[in-house]
Amino acid sequence: MSYAAYSMSGISKTVYDLSEQVMQAVLPAFGRLEKIKEINQLRVIRAMQEAGVSESMFGGSTGYGYDDSGRSQIERAYATAFGAEAAYVRIQISAGTQVLSQCLFSLLRPGDELLSVTGAPYDTLQETIGSSNNEKDTGSLHDYGISYRQIELLEDGSPDLDAIRSAIIQKTKVVFVQKSRGYTTRRSLLAEDIRKIAQTVHETSPETIVMVDNCYGEFVEELEPCMVGADLCAGSLIKNPGGGLCPSGGYVVGRADLVEQAASRMTAPGLGSHVGPSLGFNRTLAQGFYMAPHIVCESLKGAVFAAGLFAASGFKTYPAVDDIRGDIVQTLEFGDPDKLIRFCQSIQQASPVDSFVLPEPWPMPGYDSDVIMAAGAFVQGASIELSADGPLKPPFPAYMQGGLCFENVKLACMLALEKME
């Protein structure tokens, strides 16, 4: 690519030359990502073929949504591609936190215990868990008499299997695993980590359910959580599996009985997965799912490039270029609130939508500090699209994720470095 194309976006020759050096260094990592994409893409195609996905069923349903054949085809494809018995895929689910919360409420009863084995869950889910410090009844798990404990990961980010084994007691109903890092500096979990957790839990207590928050992790590796022993797995369609096309939605995959329990919590007992109109979105859900492995690979290439570019400029980045990844999130540690703000503003400036908007930190609900968020996205909050956010607290990290095309991520990172320099 000639420098002229980048100079029109305000990129200096110095930053351009550095980016070209980084591109040469990241080519081996790109090759590994392409191989994973190929495996996942072929699996999705086979799943859609085996489910009999049909153009004639893309019209969708209204009202109750009974006997929506297109919806059923999509759910069979999800179940097959994710290595699960059943799937529940609905446009009505508006957030990853929503589908995770509903899964937990469907599985747990008063007197049961939820055990998180990856430390504290993502900030927004902590409101669902609740605590004795709550000043009022918020309808959290705690308010319903469901207890909670957590086990920290080991120093290297791997699960503490001995601690998990010792912690499981008779009332431990659900073991919760968060694959992605959330607002932490730990590494994301890999499929092999989840395999070890599931094996340890089921050997210790066969009745205990292993549930995985798979947000940001779909199609990043060759294997998904249910393929390595997880009982239930859930995520958002405006993240990886929606392929950048879904305007909303969420999914649950896993054991058929548990998936139906989750469906009943989202609708009503007795209705379960039988209701829920697709409202004409079947085509979008199917096409997004088809595109997902390719889009995830584009996002990962962007993350690898960002790791290389900012590491070469003296910043802490993790994962590193050559690290094995379990999610699409790239952490860039700036150690300075002004640099964090400039980075996020540059990401916004490089976006195809709302590039003229200047994001500022604000007290976002569900977080314990001001947060700055940049997302010039076609779908509001879609983190499979190029976005970046970070809490205004030390070490002032930015969490960058998404990117429908690598070239946009590359430009955004170059522009951000330009602004910092």
Structure confidence at residue 161 (pLDDT): 98
Radius of gyration of the chain (CA): 21
Domain regions of the chain by residue span: 3-42+290-420, 58-279
CA distance 188 to 355: 30
Q: Express each pLDDT in 78-90 by its tens digit.
A: 999 999 999 999 9
Structure confidence at residue 366 (pLDDT): 63
Q: What is the mean pLDDT of residues 50-77?
A: 94
Q: What is the mean pLDDT of residues 222-240?
A: 98
Q: Which amino acid, residue 285? A: L
Counting residues of the chain whose pLDDT is more than 70, the rounded percentage is 98
Structure confidence at residue 326 (pLDDT): 96
**DSSP code at position 152:** P
Does the N-terminal peptide bond of residue 395 adopt cis geometry, omega within 30 degrees of 0? yes
Specify whether the CB–CB gap between 391 and 371 falls below 8 A: yes
Structure confidence at residue 412 (pLDDT): 96
Is the model's pLDDT at 135 over the cut of 70?
A: no
Structure confidence at residue 363 (pLDDT): 87
Out of 111-125, 135-149, 335-349, pick the least confident.
135-149
Phi, psi of 116 (to 5 degrees): -90, 125
Q: Maximum CA pair distance of the chain?
A: 66
Is the model's pLDDT at 136 over the cut of 80?
A: no
Closest CA to 74 of 251, 198, 244, 223: 251
CATH architecture of the domain with residue range 58-279: 3-Layer(aba) Sandwich (3.40)
pTM of the model: 0.95
Structure confidence at residue 300 (pLDDT): 98
Only one residue has tokens 């094995």, namely 324
Structure confidence at residue 141 (pLDDT): 94
Specify whether the CB–CB gap between 80 and 109 falls below 8 A: no
Higher pLDDT, 122 or 308: 308
Mind spelling out the 3-state secondary structure of 96-119?
A: HHHHHHHHHHHHCCCCCEEEECCC
CATH of domain 3-42+290-420: 3.90.1150.60
Q: What Å distances lie between residue 129 and 138, 253, 324, 333, CA to CA?
A: 10, 22, 31, 29
Q: What Å distances lie between residue 352 and 215, 281, 347, 357, 376, CA to CA?
A: 24, 24, 10, 11, 6
Specify whether the CB–CB gap between 201 and 189 falls below 8 A: no
Is the model's pLDDT at 134 over the cut of 70?
A: no
CA distance 71 to 279: 10
CA distance 289 to 306: 26
Q: What is the mean pLDDT of residues 374-399?
A: 92
Q: Which region, left, alpha or beta, applies to residue 234 given φ > 0 means left and ψ of -120 to 50 means alpha?
A: beta
**Contact partners, residue 195, CB within 8 Å, separation at least 6:** 228, 229
Is the model's pLDDT at 15 over the cut of 80?
A: yes
**DSSP code at position 301:** H
Structure confidence at residue 183 (pLDDT): 74
Q: Express each pLDDT in 157-185 by its tens digit.
A: 999 999 999 999 999 999 999 999 877 78
Q: What is the average pLDDT value for the chain, to the nearest integer?
A: 94
Structure confidence at residue 132 (pLDDT): 65
**Contact partners, residue 35, CB within 8 Å, separation at least 6:** none
Higher pLDDT, 335 or 367: 335
Specify whether the CB–CB gap between 252 and 92 falls below 8 A: no
E strand spans, 224-287: 232-236, 250-254
Out of 127-131, 161-165, 365-369, pick the least confident.
365-369
Specify whether the CB–CB gap between 292 and 48 falls below 8 A: no
Question: What are the beta bridge partners of residue 86?
Answer: 254
Q: Which two tokens stand for residue 36?
A: 């994973």
Sign of CA dihedral 89, 216, 121, 176: positive
Out of 123-132, 195-204, 205-214, 219-228, pick the least confident.
123-132
Structure confidence at residue 95 (pLDDT): 93
CA atoms within 13 A on the CB side of 336: 8
Q: What is the mean pLDDT of residues 347-352?
A: 93
Is the model's pLDDT at 116 over the cut of 90?
A: yes
Buried b or exposed e, range 213-252, using 16+ CB within 10 angstroms: bbbbbbbbbebbbbbbbbbbbbbbbbbbbbbbbbbbbbbb
Out of 16-30, 58-72, 193-207, pick the least confident.
58-72
Q: Tell me whether domains 3-42+290-420 and 58-279 share a fold.
A: no
Indicate the pLDDT class of residue 138, thresholds 50, 70 and 90.
confident
CA distance 316 to 333: 5
Specify whether the CB–CB gap between 174 and 115 falls below 8 A: yes
